[in-house]
Amino acid sequence: MLEIGASMSRFPCLTVGRFALATLALSTAMGASACAGQNAEAPDSALRTYARALEDGRADDAYRMLSADARRGVSAEAFRRMVKENPEEVRELAKALSRPTAAPVVTAVVTTDNGQELELVLERGQWRVDSSAVDLYAQDTPRHALQGFVRALDKKRYDIILRYVPDSHKEGLDGPKLKAAWEGADKDEMQLVLVALKQALPTATIEETGDRATMAYGAGTVQLVKERGAWKIEDFD
């Protein structure tokens, strides 16, 4: 096990009912958001239409509003069964969707060929680049943390790499010690880790559970932990 902190001196059935229907509702809104433009239906309008179809028991109409991804995940028959078998939950959800508490924010995520994610926000009919294109060492998501970590290693910014070390592993660590670890006797092994991370990031799935996250890379797994809102790299298995 290769820890980013303490051990770095050496070198990480369809849910039925309300939840499923709410998830599909979100997918419907995201489908509207993804193609939002001058002639596209607004997300809040799409949700209201979806809600009315659910409230009226028009399962087929509601199903037709789902995104292609959502329809791949649930058949029309299974969707009709959910609506029929959960009438109370469906009515409650429909009422909630009809009364959004805030204006929708339409966003899009673009992934570059090196795995970098950039978020865009639709403002007054124009797409604007979000702060993710400015903060090169963001730690707001596990993927951003890994991207920043890899970038810092590429640039040999050991002062920045220290940001990605969990507090419990930081004792006695500083930039020079991290440099000695990554460029010392185990340099070749460390380089293999870096290359594997670069190769995995563009398409890797990151599993996130609460304040923990994992991503498979090469023959191993990197473990991340969230501390005070910032994602950090705990170890490599």
CA-based nearest residue to 29, from 21, 163, 81: 21
Q: Is 130 exposed, middle or buried (0-12, 13-18, 19+ CB in 10 A)?
A: middle
pLDDT tens-place string over residues 98-152:
776 566 667 777 776 666 667 777 777 777 776 655 667 889 889 889 988 998 8
C-alpha span between 163 and 139 (Å, rounded): 9
Q: What is the mean pLDDT of residues 66-79?
A: 82
Cα-Cα-Cα-Cα dihedral sign, residues 72, 73, 77, 82: negative
Residue 169 dihedral angles phi and psi, to the nearest 5°: -105, 0
Strand partners, 224: 213, 233
Question: How much of the chain, in percent, has pLDDT values that exceed 90?
Answer: 15
Q: Domain 137-236 is in which class?
A: alpha beta
Crossing angle of helices 87-97/76-85, nearest 10°?
A: 100
Full DSSP string of 144-199: HHHHHHHHHHHTT-HHHHGGGS-GGG-TT--HHHHHHHHHSTTHHHHHHHHHHHHH
pTM of the model: 0.52
**Model confidence band, residue 15 (pLDDT cutoffs 50, 70, 90):** very low
C-alpha span between 201 and 1 (Å, rounded): 20
Question: What is the residue extent of each domain of the chain?
Answer: 18-97, 105-134, 137-236
**Model confidence band, residue 5 (pLDDT cutoffs 50, 70, 90):** very low
pLDDT at 212 over 90: yes
Average of per-residue pLDDT values in the chain = 76
pLDDT at 14 over 50: no
**Most confidently modeled range among 7-16, 167-176, 207-216:** 207-216
